[in-house]
Amino acid sequence: QVQLVESGGGLVQAGGSLRLSCAASGSIFSVNAMGWYRQAPGKQRELVARITIGGITNYQDSVKGRFTISRDNARDTAYLQLDNLKPEDTAVYYCFARIVIMSEDNLYWGQGTQVTVSS
């Protein structure tokens, strides 16, 4: 009954910006971490960014200085600000959340949102 809903993808020119959001809902005890993976055609899935309930962040080296992840713990929502986008950022971005329910730590996924950056 836990659900992640994400939005914010789209088509932009190189150098443009987008803002992704991901909201968790349901019977949740604790959301320990949230973030995004991305996968481009023919490429391996890679972690883009994550943020813990305590506010500790991690970023893929290729996006450091361009992407910023933040969260609103009271609303179980995370945001990913994408600035200075490059064509190589084109991918499907999948939100994830590590959620504790009855002492069990599980990984949940959003439906994905397409980010396309033209040159």
82 in Cβ contact with 18 (< 8 Å): yes
Cα–Cα distance for residue pair 3/101, rounded to 1 Å: 13
Identify residue 4 by its one-letter amino acid code.
L
33 in Cβ contact with 52 (< 8 Å): yes
For the segment 57-82, what is each residue's pLDDT rounded down to a tens digit?
A: 999 999 999 999 999 988 889 999 99
Identify residue 115 by its one-letter amino acid code.
V
Half-sphere exposure of 32 (CA within 13 A, CB side): 10
For the segment 19-65, what is each residue's pLDDT rounded down to a tens digit?
A: 999 999 887 778 899 999 999 999 999 999 999 989 999 999 999 99
